[in-house]
Structure 1
Amino acid sequence: MTASWWFRLVRRTVGAALVVALTVVFLALLPVSLLVAAVVSPFSQGRWRPIRLLWIATVQLVLETTVLLALLVLWLMSGCGWRIRAPWFERRHYLLARWYLVTLFREARRVLRLKITTQGPAPDAHPGSPLLVCSRHAGPGDSLVLMYALMHWYDREPRVVLKDTLAWDPMVDTLLNRIPNRFISGGPGDDVEEHIAHLATDLDDDDAFVIFPEGGNFTPKRRERAIAKLRERGFHHMADRAEGMRNVLAPRPGGFLAALEASPDTDVLLVAHTGLDHVLTVGDVWRELPMDKEITTRWWRVPREEIPSGRDAQIDWLYRWWEDIDHWVEEHKPTDLGPIDPFGRLGRRPHQDVADEARRRAD
């Protein structure tokens, strides 16, 4: 066993113990914390901001501890890890991840007054076939929204390449290492395209390989750096096109092309969204509470035969789609949900346009 394996084991064990201990202490002090939050709330900006944030933190800790205990039970049931990657146990882990996301989002919608609506054809319109999901990236919340939609609405089993910094969360580290995912550092010697090609190979009928071609969350500074880097490398035409996109980063085609090559018969699902673009840090969450926001997502399914062959043609195809996504985001800037009545119910915006599919899947 390598030193890195022992490091991951110690990190998971210590991290999990700390999360459980923190949850116990947090729950023990919850009555006092609620009293303090209630006293402070009238003096803070927003409607019961401290209480809402305290409740979301409580729900998150309880959910994470519950998942960690469930992961321990599954590990014991598998013969202390002997059969942990068997199909039955893999499915149980996906169901556990879906339960976590569904519960978290139901509380977030209720407490933070979030609304998620969907435009475009649903990914389950053609069930029984895998998908390559190519999504805009604009904040930590968008990844959770996408995974929630794929798993809860469409019963897909996502595969994704993640930054290795996320593995410091013991729940994320343990759960996602037991199902097809990869943590990468992105540093020298770490072949990201190889990881992507490996994950995108041999997709099952209900699989969805997820990739974020921008490579990071959108910010104005990152957009400027991405354009400058294209010019430094001599890609002036791509830099000119990137300058015309105001709401997205220039896509990095390498990973996407690797996924296309690894899964040559799979359709592509492009995803745009807007609503949480500016919520990037804990401080942003604090300032935005209560959020009163509508998260709008748009799905475009492209049959594989409509995607051109050849590297240059595929890069041009990806850029054209990213330009379309940029235009869509510009036309669907975040809006407030409207007034709230004394009973906490949401008012409707004068021009609220919610598709039948979105209404049916509101929960």
Structure 2
Amino acid sequence: MFCRHASLADSIISCFIVNNTMGFHPRYVLKSDLEMVPCLDLLGHRTPNCFVRRGSSNVQAELEALGSMMHGLAEGDAAVIFPEGSRANPAKRERELSRLAERHPERHARLSSLQRLIPPKPAGAQAMLDAAPGADVITVWHEGLDGLDTFPGMLQALSERKVTAHVVVTVHPRTEVPGGDGFAEWIDRRWVEMDEAVAQFTQVAGV
């Protein structure tokens, strides 16, 4: 499951969708900083989750850990990752787009229109799919939680309005998801589609 990341509530929402709505047992990709939270450290290591070190000098080891998390993935399981790697906000979006312009001009050309989401990082998601060749892909986007990416932002939003989230889940059969060099373009296209959908829904809702 590839989820948009825009708020502190995203993990709760995705868990509700996976567990309560779809009836799957979730496995999560989490940033290693969360190991400092005792309950996440305890539960996260007792179930097949993966704590990744962002900015690690050994990227290959992190990708192999993601692949290992997928071992034993059964029909009733779902692995969840936030491919953006961080909660979206305008500053992060501009920073990531500038980085792509320097390092991957072809991806920048595909993603330069993003207004709400930030560019996905395809390597981790692809490592997960490579380790589970029979798994379908689910993409998830939501609208209504922008600005709730920090605790002050969340407290301010909750004090000013009733927060309502609109969540869209799409299943992509594995036969429609390319591997190898084609995967980065595939996930980029999905991110542009989700970005456009968020903008359109926001405009209709008058947010």
Q: TM-score, normalised by structure 2?
A: 0.91
Q: 1:145 aligns with which of 13, 19, 23?
A: 13
Per the alignment, residue 206 of structure 1 pairs with 76
SS at match of 2:164: strand
The question of 1:195 aligning with 2:68 is answered no
Per the alignment, residue 262 of structure 1 pairs with 131
Per the alignment, residue 275 of structure 1 pairs with 144
Query: 1:85-112 CA deviation, whole Å, 9 max, x = no partner?
Result: xxxxxxxxxxxxxxxxxxxxxxxxxxxx
SS at match of 2:28: strand
Q: Contact 1:164–1:184 (CA<8 Å) still a contact in 2?
A: yes
Aligned residue pairs: how many?
A: 203
Per the alignment, residue 110 of structure 1 pairs with none
Shift of 1:214: 1.0
Partners of 1:223 and 1:261 in 2: CA distance:
27
SS at match of 1:177: helix
Query: Which has the larger Rg?
Result: 1
Per the alignment, residue 39 of structure 2 pairs with 171
Q: Contact 1:293–1:336 (CA<8 Å) still a contact in 2?
A: no
Name the amino acid aligned to 1:164: S
Shift of 1:324: 0.6
Q: Contact 1:292–1:336 (CA<8 Å) still a contact in 2?
A: no
Per the alignment, residue 306 of structure 1 pairs with 176
Partners of 1:221 and 1:200 in 2: CA distance:
33
Gaps of 5+ in 2: none
**Alpha-carbon spacing, 1:257–1:242, altered in 2? closer, same or farther (3 Å):** same
Name the amino acid aligned to 2:115: R
Shift of 1:302: 0.9
Q: Contact 2:49–2:69 (CA<8 Å) still a contact in 1?
A: yes
Partners of 2:98 and 2:182 in 1: CA distance:
23
Question: What is the root-mean-square deviation in Å for CA atoms of aligned residues?
Answer: 1.9
Shift of 1:336: 8.9
Q: Contact 2:157–2:163 (CA<8 Å) still a contact in 1?
A: no
SS at match of 1:258: helix
Q: Contact 1:294–1:336 (CA<8 Å) still a contact in 2?
A: no
Q: Contact 1:198–1:262 (CA<8 Å) still a contact in 2?
A: yes
The question of 1:289 aligning with 2:158 is answered yes
Partners of 1:288 and 1:256 in 2: CA distance:
31
Q: TM-score, normalised by structure 1?
A: 0.53
**Alpha-carbon spacing, 1:255–1:226, altered in 2? closer, same or farther (3 Å):** same
SS at match of 2:46: coil
Q: 1:222 aligns with which of 92, 95, 100?
A: 92
SS at match of 1:276: coil
SS at match of 2:9: helix
Name the amino acid aligned to 1:199: M
Q: Contact 1:161–1:195 (CA<8 Å) still a contact in 2?
A: no
Name the amino acid aligned to 2:114: M
4+ residue segments displaced more than 6 Å: none
Name the amino acid aligned to 1:300: T
Per the alignment, residue 328 of structure 1 pairs with 197
**Alpha-carbon spacing, 1:165–1:239, altered in 2? closer, same or farther (3 Å):** same
* Bigger proportion of residues as helix: 1
Per the alignment, residue 154 of structure 1 pairs with 22
Name the amino acid aligned to 2:28: V
Name the amino acid aligned to 1:195: A
